[in-house]
Amino acid sequence: MGDPLLLERSREVTRFGTAELDALLTDMLDTMEALNGAGLAAPQIGVLLRVVIFGVKRNPRYPDAEEVPYTVLINPELRPLGEDMEEGWEGCLSVPGMRGLVPRYRRVSYRGSDQYGSPIERDVTRFHARVVQHECDHLDGILYPMRMPDLRNFGFTEVLFPGEAPIEE
């Protein structure tokens, strides 16, 4: 946070199945796994393309974080399903060591394509919906603190959740 690249709008991908895209996705997955992330957007590693990845395996330490299949999502479009919002704690690899309480749509529909240009379309809820909204925000230059209505619910992970290794987005 503080790098002006993170505040820019990323560009659409126009060519799929290329070596460049494959190398970008490898770099993103390595970064996400090394930092124990639930998701990552290309601008977080300095590439202003509309590419996000996310995925969470079931972890008994985080009973609220249901499993999310590993997904490569390119040129995503998000649409809320209904107006229900819910608050949840988020972290971000671009805002290390912090967590904040963020309202998100409870249900969303998203579409886009994978790295080969094959279409993806899903209706999702809860944690899956939250992760996608967080990652897609990165493509429009929005970091989660910018979505927070009350900055009193923003703080250091080790103070808010002592002893936990947090999931970052």
Q: How near is the Cβ of 15 to Ni ion at its closest, in Å?
A: 26
In a 10 Å sphere around its CB, with 0-12 CB exposed, 13-18 middle and 19+ buried, how is residue 157 labelled?
middle
Tokens of 34: 């090394």
Output 30 or 121, the one with its CB closest to Ni ion: 30
Q: How near is the Cβ of 32 to Ni ion at its closest, in Å?
A: 10
**Residues taking part in catalysis:** 135
Tokens 């970008």 found at: 24
Residue nearest to Ni ion (CB): 92
Which stretch in 12-20, 49-57, 88-96, 100-108 sits in contact with Ni ion by CB under 5 A?
88-96
Residues 94-133 that bind Ni ion (CB under 5 A): none
Q: How near is the Cβ of 135 to Ni ion at its closest, in Å?
A: 7
Q: How near is the Cβ of 37 to Ni ion at its closest, in Å?
A: 8
Q: Residue 159: name the closest of 102, 103, 89 by CA.
A: 89
Quote the CA–CA distance of 29 and 151 in Å, as a whole number: 31
Report if residue 92 touches Ni ion, rule: CB under 5 A.
yes
Which stretch in 27-35, 71-79, 90-98, 105-113 sits in contact with Ni ion by CB under 5 A?
90-98
Quote the CA–CA distance of 31 and 42 in Å, as a whole number: 11
Output 92 or 98, the one with its CB closest to Ni ion: 92
| Number of residues binding to Ni ion, judged by CB under 5 A | 2
Report if residue 169 touches Ni ion, rule: CB under 5 A.
yes
Which stretch in 21-29, 69-77, 85-93, 100-108 sits in contact with Ni ion by CB under 5 A?
85-93
Report if residue 56 touches Ni ion, rule: CB under 5 A.
no
Binding site for Ni ion (CB under 5 A): 92, 169
